[in-house]
Amino acid sequence: MKILMEGNEAIAEAAVRAGCRAYFGYPITPQTQIIEYLAKRMPEVGGVVLQAESEVASINMVYGAAAAGARVMTSSSSPGISLMCEGLSYLAGAELPCLIVNVMRAGPGLGGILPSQADYWQATRGGGHGGYRSLVLAPSSVQECVDLMKLGFDKADEYRNPVLILADGLLGQMMEPVELPELCETSSANKPWAATGLHGRSHHNIINSLDTVPERLERHCLHLEDKYRQIASAEVRHETFGDSDARVVVVAYGTVARIVRSAVERARAEGMKVAMVRPISLWPFPSVGIDEASKAAERMLVVEMNAGQMVDDVRLAVHDRVPVRFYGRQGGMVCSVREVFEQIVALYKEVPEYVHA
């Protein structure tokens, strides 16, 4: 049965259903509803919810709980995520599974509280030091928030790696009907590496990212690289829509992808050959999917709520073969279907042998 839920609350409920029993976080608009919801919900399932003194403390509590084998998460919005950068790097370095939700707001600095996608670089290229990777999933509906939470927790455990859910403020605060999965429980028993106390085990487990012997630290880095390569080959997710011989291909993710989809539908209704690709995993990036969708393309368009952070990834995906244009709104402004439609029309007209159907 579907129920109508706000994105933030759906994220929270989905976490509980995915077996998450530990949440540490600090309030920040537009995602405070997550901790508020869990403050009521977690005790019902015997879970822990703790309002930390800061985002720095939150992410380090997550580090501790993950080290001890728990299925654990935190959530925040852009400035709060910046404060977690050191912690994220530690989590990646020590190979601890956990889930981090970023309901992005406009930046830089304190910026504003309205929706944004301006943390794409931060999410896909680190944020923290040392060049680690997180699996980054970008839902574009409340239902997908729910679905990706479960997937995210599972993949975090599978790869012993942090997973980032990158949502925008719109998604966090809008309501849509969702189908919720069954409540499930997980245990630390299948994490033999975790620091759970010996309880009879003969060797002591150590959770750590330090190694002062460079040869050994290099081996560790190579091991991480290997893992990232595995993720890159197994965990690419995207969705394609529109004409397979599209002349203009639009790439967008998150809520913006829905706006783009409406615009693409309109363009196709008017006879243009247009398609769109919606990356669901932002890292690994669906380069192959985008390349394939744009075999016949003469123009690419990237639409984001930022100044054009995904553009380079799209250029790389198409091997800089097709000109890649950008349309974006910033500062909390959300582009309209009409704006995107006009961009598509303009690009379509740019194509030399342009024929209106």
Partner 1 sequence: MSMREVFHRPEALADVATHYCPGCDHGIVHRLVAEAIDELGVRDSTIGVAPVGCAVFAYNYWSVDMVQAAHGRAPAVATGIKRVRPNDTVFTYQGDGDLAAIGTAEIVHAAARRENITVIFINNSVYGMTSGQMAPTTLLGQVTTTTPGGRDPQRHGFPIRVTELLNALEGPVYLARTAVNTPKNLNVTKKAIRAAFECQIKGQGFSLVEVLSTCPSAWGLNPVECVGWLENNLIPHYPLGVVREPAATPKEEVAVGAR
Partner 2 sequence: MHVETIIAGFGGQGILMAGQLLAEAGMLSGQQVTWVPSYGPEMRGGVANCAVILADDPIGSPVVGEPDVVIAMNRPSMEKFSTLVRPGGVVIINSSIMENTIERHDVRVVEVPCNAIADELGSPRVATIVALGAFLEATKALEPSAIVEALRHVLPARRHNLIPLNEQALERGAAVARGERALVATQG
Ligand X SMILES: Cc1ncc(C[n+]2csc(CCOP(=O)(O)OP(=O)(O)O)c2C)c(N)n1
Interface residues with partner 1 (CB under 8 A) are 21-22, 24, 26-29, 32, 35-36, 39-40, 48, 50-58, 60-70, 72, 79, 86-87, 90, 94, 109-110, 195-200, 204-210
Choice between 237 and 258, CB closer to partner 2:
258
- CA torsion, ordered 130, 254, 113, 314, to nearest 10 deg: 50
Q: Between residue 188 and residue 207, which ones bind ligand X under the rule CB under 6 A? A: none
d(C-alpha 78, C-alpha 3), whole Å? 29
Q: Which two tokens stand for residue 73?
A: 């998460």
**What CA–CA distances, in Å, run from 136 to 281, 283, 317?**
6, 5, 17
Would you call 246 helix, strand, or coil by DSSP? coil
d(C-alpha 91, C-alpha 87), whole Å? 6
162's contact among ligand X, partner 2, partner 1, none, with CB below 5 to 8 A by partner kind, is: none
**What CA–CA distances, in Å, run from 355 to 324, 351, 352?**
21, 9, 9
65's contact among partner 2, ligand X, partner 1, none, with CB below 5 to 8 A by partner kind, is: partner 1
Among 127, 242, 254, 279, binds its own copies (CB under 8 A): 127
Q: Smallest distance from the beta carbon of 52 to its own copies, in angstroms? A: 15
| Contact flag: residue 27 with ligand X (CB under 6 A) | yes
**Site of interaction with partner 2 (CB under 8 A):** 2, 4, 113-115, 169-170, 173-177, 212-214, 255, 258-259, 261-262, 265, 332, 334, 336-338
Q: Smallest distance from the beta carbon of 131 to partner 2, in angstroms? A: 19
Residue 264 identity (one-letter amino acid): V
Choice between 130 and 308, CB closer to partner 1:
130
Q: Nearest CA to 85 among 128, 121, 125, 135?
A: 128
Choice between 35 and 322, CB closer to ligand X:
35
**Alpha carbon of residue 144 to chain centroid:** 11
256's contact among its own copies, partner 1, ligand X, none, with CB below 5 to 8 A by partner kind, is: none
175's contact among ligand X, partner 2, partner 1, none, with CB below 5 to 8 A by partner kind, is: partner 2
100 beta partners: 74, 164
72's contact among partner 2, ligand X, partner 1, none, with CB below 5 to 8 A by partner kind, is: partner 1
**What CA–CA distances, in Å, run from 297 to 247, 255, 294?**
4, 24, 5
DSSP assignment of 136-204 equals EE---SHHHHHHHHHHHHHHHHHHTSEEEEEEEHHHHH-EEEEEPPPP----GGG-TTS-S--TT-SSP
Q: Smallest distance from the beta carbon of 256 to partner 1, in angstroms? A: 26
| Contact flag: residue 343 with its own copies (CB under 8 A) | no
Among 25, 47, 69, 80, binds ligand X (CB under 6 A): 80
Contact residues for its own copies, defined by CB under 8 A: 56, 78-79, 81-83, 85-86, 88-94, 104, 106-114, 116, 118-122, 125-132, 208-222, 224-225, 306-307, 309, 312, 315-316, 319-321, 329-333
